[in-house]
Structure 1
Amino acid sequence: MHTRYYPSRVLWRHRPVATAPTTTGEVAVRGRLLHFAAGRGRIADESGGIDFVVKARVAGIKAGDIVELYGIVVEGIIDAIQVRLLAPSSAVWHQGDWSRFHANGLWANMRVRAAVLDAVRDFFRDAGFLAVETPTLARASAQEEHIQLFATEYHGDKAQKQFYLAPSPELYMKRLLGVGFEQIYQISRSYRNGELGPQHNPEFTLIEWYRAYASYEEIMADVEDLVSHVAKSVLGRSSVVRAGREIDLQPPWERLSVRDAFARWAAVDLDACTDAESLFRRARALGYGSARREDSWEDLYHKILLERVEPELAKLGAVHLFDYPRQLAALAKLKEGDSAVAERTEAYLGGVELSNGYTELNDPTQQRERFARGARPGGAPADEAFLAAMERGIPPAGGIALGLDRLVMVVAGASCLDEVIAFPLGY
């Protein structure tokens, strides 16, 4: 009833399993045997499954094998005439990848992910953005102290041997602004070392876009329109469910300054705590046990944000946090009329940080100074090609990076990135 293992060709014209029950006459299907015993079994492919019976003795075929089955459909069941083994399986076929994809919702979430990608591309095409691609291997990087890079080497005849996996396409995309492209977007693989958790994977996917002659105001509106469009396209509604609560995505979303958020929920006046010592004293006075004297200002800020502010943001649903302290503005312009803050914004959805955007700094002198302050010992060099492009002139612009993996997680109703990434770190 079967030929040798691993044949190079199938014998009959393929039909998706899901269409077999409505077929009259002969049918051929292929897929994995979910179970098979005593002449009865069930076969499934990507489209679905169907039961079958086979009257003749079938040797050497078992549950888990991938087979080709030819027969006649009778009352929704295939009466198999021939069963042909295409690829045998081990006894533990239902473990490993199979279990991870089929037992935990990952199989369905891969389709959600594909639908989100389609919707994102449709949105930017219809909005007049140009899709671009920039290198993953970078000679240098933005100098941001909190980002740890993956380093690699080029083994060729080029003078430079050291390269880095790009943590985002940002600097290359701004160089494209400088040569005249005014509305650009990219879906890119990006890499950040040392970041692993429920909402972090060292290799991740970003949606990044820039508008010349715009500010973070237009970018915040873009985020609202994009996320609402994706939800409507994938779910058929302009809302998502997070932690059992339905979140309305219809614009406009609530907007809250960082200054107001810290004052309201953490009882911290950021204007009065502009150095590490003053912020440490305030944190300790308020009972923040995680605060340590050796912490930097940025460390203390993020501890308070995670412990007190982000849990409250989750209650607001869809919200933009904006106007960040100037200490957190490596690539953003300071706010005109209020130089204590930068025109930076992050969008949150049900407590999940989705995006990080700016009114982009385009002053080369300021940018070089900020890179120098953010440089890590032994880290990547400053991107001189980017700074040279800025010296030649990059137009004022708004730009943002939005985490595709996190967007899929929210749309799919998943609890962590492992549920929406096919093979996260270690798989």
Structure 2
Amino acid sequence: MTDPEQVDWRPGASADTLRQRARLKRLLRETLDARDWLEIDAPVLIDSPDFEPNIALFRATLPDDTPAGSLHSSPELTMKRLLAACPDLPGAYYLGPVFRANEAGRRHNPEFTMLEWYDNGATLESAIATTLALIQSAREALGLSPAPVERRDYGALFRRHGALDPYHADTDTLAQAAGRHGIDVADPADMARDDWLDLLMSLVIEPRLDPTSLTVVTGYPASQAAMARLQTTRFEGREIRTAARFEVYGGGLELANGYHELVDPDEQARRLDSAGSRQPSPSQQRFLAALAHGLPECSGVAMGVDRLLMWLTGAEDIDAVLPFSARRV
């Protein structure tokens, strides 16, 4: 018989943290239910709609090794189809597991809990307000005082901490900036421009965000929001195109990502085509058909519940807020 003292069989999270986790999930549901939003059960097994090229999906197969799709990384397509079919709904949300392959570490687990919602009629600013209100309510529920809030512009952050213009810098300039900050990449030739921007954001800028504050970042490049509207603005006197997107950080930890959603079916089809998926999958075709039917003006937000609990409790490792992380399964 296996000696229980020699095997790491216990949960990563303590009993107190598991109670806080349950309290947090109840709060999120109660808050959104009070808005008369509809909670939906999105399908977990999908037909591999790779809208986001940088997200690796878990592939599923039948017993005879026939491909059977993938585990979803987001319920986005089905939730937007729901709003297109039921435009009188004030909003809809999903609270449950999502999956991303090749994501493991102190802040990542291949299976994690996502709260994703779509607010009918919401602008980007109202989506930011809803996100901050949810987070502040979560702090209150766990006995914490409200956190200060800062607003930061993506371009200004790169200028301040990276000494560059992220909208016009070429790949070589971004690679050189990474080198100045001691960032070593095994295969730099495989790095696209947005890969360098993401790397600089995560390793140079995020650690410099105020650890005690909620920071809202806006002004992301147009190339970094496949399903968001685009807008024209200016940076350092030059006209630029940015995405109607925001991210909320707790300290240097990314908590939520939101879009003012693209509702133009022709533009969405063009973006899908430019991503390399020349023949849309059945679920993508259904999604594009829903857009053609008419998606209400809306904003969507995805919030990592495990990440949020890490920030609320001061945990340094996601294992400490999960019953059983991938390390313990």
Output the TM-score relative to the length of structure 2.
Answer: 0.87
Q: Determine which of 351, 355, 363 is the counterpart of 2:256.
A: 355
Q: 1:378 to 1:411 in 2, by over 3 A?
A: farther
Q: Determine which of 48, 57, 72 is the counterpart of 1:166.
A: 72
Q: Could you tell me how far 1:269 is from its partner in structure 2?
A: 0.8
Secondary structure, counterpart of 2:268 in structure 1:
helix
**Does the 8 Å CA contact 2:162/2:177 hold for their aligned counterparts?**
no
CA RMSD of aligned residues (A): 2.7
Q: 1:418 to 1:162 in 2, by over 3 A?
A: same
Q: 1:397 to 1:163 in 2, by over 3 A?
A: same
**Does the 8 Å CA contact 2:232/2:242 hold for their aligned counterparts?**
no
CA distance in 1, matches of 2:281, 2:175: 30
Q: 1:256 to 1:119 in 2, by over 3 A?
A: same
Deviation per CA, 1:216-244: give whole Å up to 9, x if none: 211111111101111111x22334xxxxx
Structure-1 residue corresponding to 2:145:
238
Secondary structure, counterpart of 1:264 in structure 2:
helix
Structure-2 residue corresponding to 1:304:
200
CA distance in 1, matches of 2:253, 2:277: 28
Name the % identity.
31
1:80-91 mapped onto 2 (5 Å cutoff) = none
Structure-2 residue corresponding to 1:405:
306
Q: Which structure dedicates a bigger proportion of its chain to helix?
A: 2
**Does the 8 Å CA contact 1:169/1:188 hold for their aligned counterparts?**
no
CA distance in 2, matches of 1:399, 1:336: 21
Q: 1:317 to 1:377 in 2, by over 3 A?
A: farther
Q: Determine which of 192, 205, 218 is the counterpart of 2:100.
A: 192
Deviation per CA, 1:17-38: give whole Å up to 9, x if none: xxxxxxxxxxxxxxxxxxxxxx
Q: 1:204 to 1:334 in 2, by over 3 A?
A: same
Amino acid at match of 1:169: P
CA distance in 1, matches of 2:132, 2:160: 24
Secondary structure, counterpart of 1:388 in structure 2:
helix
Q: Which structure dedicates a bigger proportion of its chain to strand?
A: 1
Structure-1 residue corresponding to 2:184:
290
CA distance in 1, matches of 2:103, 2:223: 22
CA distance in 2, matches of 1:310, 1:288: 15
Structure-2 residue corresponding to 1:226:
134
Q: 1:376 to 1:312 in 2, by over 3 A?
A: farther
Q: 1:393 to 1:91 in 2, by over 3 A?
A: closer
CA distance in 2, matches of 1:362, 1:406: 29
CA distance in 1, matches of 2:319, 2:277: 30
Deviation per CA, 1:322-381: give whole Å up to 9, x if none: 121011111111025565210111110021100111001111111112222334799977
Structure-1 residue corresponding to 2:241:
340
CA distance in 2, matches of 1:324, 1:400: 15
CA distance in 1, matches of 2:78, 2:260: 17
**Does the 8 Å CA contact 2:166/2:197 hold for their aligned counterparts?**
no
Q: 1:272 to 1:161 in 2, by over 3 A?
A: closer
- Paired residues, what number? 318
Structure-1 residue corresponding to 2:159:
263
Amino acid at match of 1:357: G
Amino acid at match of 2:308: L
Q: Could you tell me how far 1:294 is from its partner in structure 2?
A: 4.2
Structure-2 residue corresponding to 1:150:
58
Deviation per CA, 1:147-204: give whole Å up to 9, x if none: 1111113579xxx963211111011111111012331111021011111111111111
**Does the 8 Å CA contact 2:59/2:67 hold for their aligned counterparts?**
no
Structure-2 residue corresponding to 1:254:
150
1:139 aligns to 2:47 (yes or no): yes
**Does the 8 Å CA contact 1:155/1:161 hold for their aligned counterparts?**
no
Secondary structure, counterpart of 2:217 in structure 1:
strand
Unaligned segments of structure 1, at least 5 residues:
1-89, 240-247
Q: Determine which of 317, 320, 323 is the counterpart of 1:422.
A: 323
CA distance in 2, matches of 1:198, 1:409: 11
Secondary structure, counterpart of 1:162 in structure 2:
strand
